[in-house]
C-alpha cells in the first residue's frame, strides 16, 4: 500500500524536477549573445593602414582579444584614416574611418571598399579561440545627402535582421569557392540621405548579423558615388551588440540540415537526408564527384515547403554503372526561393561489392596545431596520400606517403578555424573523417 505522504513527496519531487528542467530550457533558449567591446587598438604587425597590417583590440570579452587584419581594398585609391575613430560615435564599437581618392570622388560612378578580417585569440597570445555567440550591428549606413552612399558587407553569419521598412538594399556577395560561384555574404547599401549623428535609434539604416561558434569572420566597409563629390571620407560604426528593431525582419539560413548520409545499397549509392527546419527553401540539388573537387548535378528534389519539424528525403543514384569501382563523393546544394544557397558536408561512397568499410581515428579533435591520424592494420605500410579538404570539397593540403605507419601526423596550424575532412587513400583503401580546427 502506498501511503498518502509518500504520494505527496513523490508529486513534490516530480514538480521540482519538471520546474528545474523547464527553467533550464527557458534559460538556454533565451540566453542572449554577449557584447564585445572594441577599444584602444595597437598595431602588432605590418605597416599601419597597409594591406596585411594587424591590430590588436585587447579584452573584447573576458580572456579574449580580437586581431583585426586589413585583408585588402578595392584599389589603391582607398586608404585608412583611422582603424578605430573614437572622437565620435560609440566608444565600444569598431569604427574604421576609410577614405577614397583623398576624400574626393571623380565624375561618373565609383564603388570602393576595404576588407577587415576579425579573429579571436586568447588574451596576449595568438592562440585561436571560439566565441559562442555574438551579434554585429552596422549603425548609420547612410549617405552625404548628395551623391554618395555607404555600404557594409558581412560574411559567414547565421542570420541577419533589419527593420521591415528599412531603407537598406541587400544583395548577395558572390565568390568562387572550389571552382563554384557561391554566396559567401551579403552587402547592405544605405540611402544617399544623410541621417543626423550616429544614432542607434535610426534603425532604418541599421542591420544586425548573428554569429555562433565563430573564431574568425570578414567584414567590408565601402562607399558608392554617382558623381564628383568631396565627402568620400566615411566613418563606419560596427557595434558588437544586439539592438531591438520596431518591426524586425529576420532572415535565416534557408534550411537546417539535421543529417545527411550516403551508403551502398544493392550496388547503388543511396542518399538520405533529414531537415529539421525549412524556411523559404526551393529545392535540393544533389551533386556527385569522382575526385572530391569537381562536382556535377545528379538530381533536383523540390522541398516540401516551410516546416519546423523533421522532413526526410531519399534518392538512389541509378545513373552509376553497377560495375563501378572506386570512391564517389556526394553533397547537397540547398537553394532558397531568392537564389541564396549553401552546401552540406561532403559524403563518400566506396563502390563495388567487395568494398570494405575502413575507418581512421583522429586525435585531438578539435585540434589547434597537429592532427594525429590512427590508421587500421589494412592501411599500414602502404603508399598513398592524406588530404585535408574543406566541407565544400576543396583540397587545402596534401601529403604523399611512401609507407604509412600506425599513426600519421599532419600540421593544421596554418588553416583557418572551421570544419574540415581528412581523406586517407592508401593503395585503394580509402577512409574519411571530419574534424574541427580551432
Three-state SS annotation for 226-256: CCCECCCCEECEEECCCCCCCCEEEECCCEE
**What is the CATH number for 267?**
2.60.40.10
Other Cβ atoms within 10 Å of 334 Cβ, number: 24
DSSP string, 64-76: EEEEEEEEEESST
- The confidence score (pLDDT) of residue 305 equals 66
The verdict on residue 197 lying in a domain is yes
**What whole-number distance in Å separates Cα of residue 150 and Cα of residue 139?**
11
DSSP string, 249-290: EEE--SEEEEEEEEEEETTEEEEEEEEEEESSEEEEEEEEES
Residues 54 and 195 in one domain: yes
How much is the pLDDT for 16?
A: 39
Tell me, what's the pLDDT at 177?
52
Task: Please say which residue of 232, 251, 270 terminates a domain.
Answer: 251
What is the span of the domain harbouring residue 120? 42-251
Place 355 in a pLDDT band, splitting at 50, 70 and 90: very low
Q: Do 94 and 189 fall into the same domain? A: yes
User: Is position 281 within any domain?
Assistant: yes
- Of 113-117, 120-124, 345-349, 410-414, least confident by mean pLDDT is 345-349
- Verify that 300 and 342 share a domain, yes or no: yes
Whose CA is closest to 234, among 172, 282, 274, 190? 190
pLDDT digit string (tens) for 70-120? Answer: 999 999 999 999 999 999 999 999 999 999 999 999 999 999 999 999 999
Structure confidence at residue 323 as a pLDDT band (50, 70, 90): low
Q: Is the pLDDT of residue 264 over 90?
A: no
| Mean pLDDT value of segment 239-255 | 83
Band of the pLDDT at 197, cuts 50, 70, 90?
confident
Q: Which residues contact 410 (CB under 8 A, 6 or more apart)?
A: 370, 371, 373, 386, 388, 397, 399, 422
In this model, does residue 342 exceed pLDDT 60?
Answer: yes
Q: Is beta strand 42-45 parallel, antiparallel or unpaired with respect to 54-61?
A: antiparallel
Average pLDDT (335-340) is 76
Domain boundary among 192, 225, 251: 251
**Could you read off the pLDDT of 3-46 as tens digits, one per residue?**
444 444 544 444 333 333 333 333 333 345 789 999 999 999 99
Instruction: Report the range of poorest mean pLDDT among 14-23, 389-398, 400-409.
Output: 14-23
Q: Which residue has the higher pLDDT, 356 or 297?
A: 297
Q: From edge to edge, which strands make up the β-sheet containing 248-251?
A: 237-239, 131-139, 207-214, 159-163, 248-251
For residue 122, the model assigns a pLDDT of 93
Task: For cell 605500410, name the residue.
Answer: 381
In a domain, 34, yes or no: no
CATH number of the domain encompassing residue 433: 2.60.40.1930
Statement to judge: residues 259 and 368 lie in one domain = no
If asked whether residues 217 and 309 sit together in one domain, one would say no
Domain presence at residue 36 = no
Give the model's pLDDT for residue 6: 45
**Mean pLDDT calculated for residue range 200-221:** 92
Query: Which grid coordinates belong to 338?
Result: 531568392
What whole-number percentage of the chain has pLDDT above 90?
A: 40
Question: Is residue 181 situated within a structural domain?
Answer: yes
The residue from 330, 355, 380 where one domain ends is 355
Element (H, E) at 161: strand 159-163
Residues 151-173 as b or e (16 or more Cβ within 10 Å = b) = bbbbbebeebbbbeebbbeeeee
Average pLDDT over residues 301-319: 80
pLDDT at 173 exceeding the cut of 90:
no
Same domain, 87 and 223: yes
Residue 141 falls inside a structural domain: yes
Q: Both 155 and 247 in a single domain?
A: yes
Q: Identify whether residues 63 and 173 lie together within a single domain.
A: yes
Q: Percentage of residues in the chain with pLDDT exceeding 70?
A: 85
Q: Are residues 398 and 330 in the same domain?
A: no
Q: What is the pTM of this model?
A: 0.59
Residues 295 and 366 in one domain: no
Q: Which of these, 125, 117, 114, lies nearest to 68 by C-alpha position?
A: 117
Q: Does 394 lie in the same domain as 299? A: no
Could you give the C-alpha distances from 224 to 14, 174, 302, 321, in angstroms and in order? Answer: 62, 18, 38, 53
- Judge whether residue 47 has pLDDT over 80: yes
pLDDT of 179 higher than 50: no
Which residues is 278 bridged to in the sheet?
255, 307
Confidence of residue 393 (pLDDT cuts 50, 70, 90): confident
Q: Which candidate, 332, 330, 347, 346, places its Cα nearest to that of 390? A: 346
Per-residue model confidence (pLDDT) at position 111: 95
Could you tell me if residue 171 is inside a domain? yes
Residue 198 half-sphere exposure toward CB, CA atoms < 13 A: 19
Does 35 fall in a domain?
no
At 176 the pLDDT is: 62
Which region among 28-42, 173-187, 392-406, 415-429 has the lowest average model confidence (pLDDT)? 173-187
pLDDT band, very low/low/confident/very high, at 254 (cuts 50, 70, 90)? low
Report the number of distinct structural domains present in the chain: 4
Q: Are residues 322 and 238 in the same domain?
A: no
Amino acid at each position: 500500500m502506498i501511503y498518502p505522504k509518500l504520494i505527496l513527496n513523490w508529486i513534490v519531487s516530480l514538480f521540482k524536477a519538471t520546474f528545474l528542467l523547464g527553467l533550464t530550457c527557458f534559460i538556454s533558449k533565451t540566453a542572449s549573445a554577449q557584447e564585445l567591446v572594441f577599444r584602444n587598438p595597437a598595431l602588432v604587425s605590418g605597416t599601419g593602414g597597409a594591406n596585411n597590417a594587424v591590430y590588436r583590440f585587447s579584452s573584447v570579452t573576458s580572456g579574449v582579444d580580437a586581431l583585426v587584419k586589413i585583408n585588402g581594398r578595392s584599389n589603391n585609391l582607398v586608404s585608412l584614416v583611422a582603424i578605430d575613430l573614437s572622437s565620435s560615435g560609440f566608444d565600444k564599437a569598431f569604427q574604421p574611418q576609410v577614405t577614397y581618392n583623398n576624400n574626393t570622388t571623380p565624375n561618373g560612378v565609383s564603388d570602393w571598399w576595404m576588407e577587415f578580417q576579425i579573429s579571436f585569440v586568447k588574451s596576449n597570445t595568438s592562440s585561436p579561440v571560439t566565441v559562442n555567440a555574438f551579434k554585429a550591428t552596422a549603425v548609420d549606413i547612410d549617405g552625404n545627402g548628395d551623391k554618395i552612399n555607404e555600404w557594409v558587407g558581412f560574411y559567414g553569419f547565421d542570420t541577419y535582421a533589419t527593420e521591415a521598412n528599412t531603407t537598406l538594399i541587400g544583395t548577395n556577395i558572390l565568390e568562387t569557392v572550389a571552382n563554384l560561384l557561391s554566396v559567401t555574404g551579403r552587402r547592405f547599401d544605405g540611402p544617399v540621405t544623410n541621417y543626423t549623428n550616429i544614432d542607434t535609434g535610426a534603425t532604418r539604416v541599421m542591420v544586425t548579423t548573428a554569429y555562433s561558434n565563430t573564431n574568425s569572420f570578414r567584414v567590408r566597409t565601402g562607399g558608392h558615388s554617382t558623381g564628383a563629390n568631396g565627402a568620400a571620407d566615411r566613418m563606419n560604426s560596427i557595434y558588437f551588440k544586439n539592438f531591438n528593431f520596431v518591426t524586425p525582419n529576420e532572415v535565416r539560413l534557408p534550411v537546417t540540415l539535421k543529417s545527411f548520409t550516403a551508403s551502398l545499397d544493392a550496388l547503388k549509392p543511396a542518399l538520405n537526408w533529414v531537415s529539421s527546419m525549412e524556411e523559404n527553401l526551393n529545392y535540393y540539388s544533389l551533386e556527385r564527384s569522382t575526385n572530391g573537387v569537381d562536382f556535377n548535378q545528379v538530381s533536383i528534389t523540390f522541398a516540401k515547403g516551410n516546416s519546423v519539424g523533421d522532413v526526410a528525403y531519399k534518392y538512389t543514384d541509378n545513373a552509376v554503372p553497377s560495375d563501378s569501382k572506386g570512391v564517389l563523393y556526394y553533397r547537397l546544394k540547398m537553394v532558397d526561393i531568392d537564389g541564396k544557397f549553401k552546401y552540406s558536408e561532403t559524403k563518400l561512397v566506396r563502390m563495388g561489392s567487395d568494398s570494405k568499410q575502413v575507418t581512421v581515428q583522429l586525435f585531438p579533435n578539435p585540434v589547434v596545431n597537429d592532427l594525429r591520424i590512427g590508421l587500421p592494420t589494412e592501411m599500414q605500410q602502404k603508399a598513398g596520400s592524406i588530404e585535408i579538404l574543406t566541407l565544400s570539397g576543396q583540397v587545402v593540403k596534401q601529403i604523399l606517403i611512401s609507407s604509412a605507419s600506425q599513426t600519421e601526423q599532419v600540421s593544421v596550424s596554418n588553416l583557418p578555424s572551421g570544419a574540415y575532412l581528412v581523406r586517407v587513400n592508401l593503395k585503394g583503401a580509402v577512409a574519411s573523417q571530419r574534424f574541427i580546427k580551432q
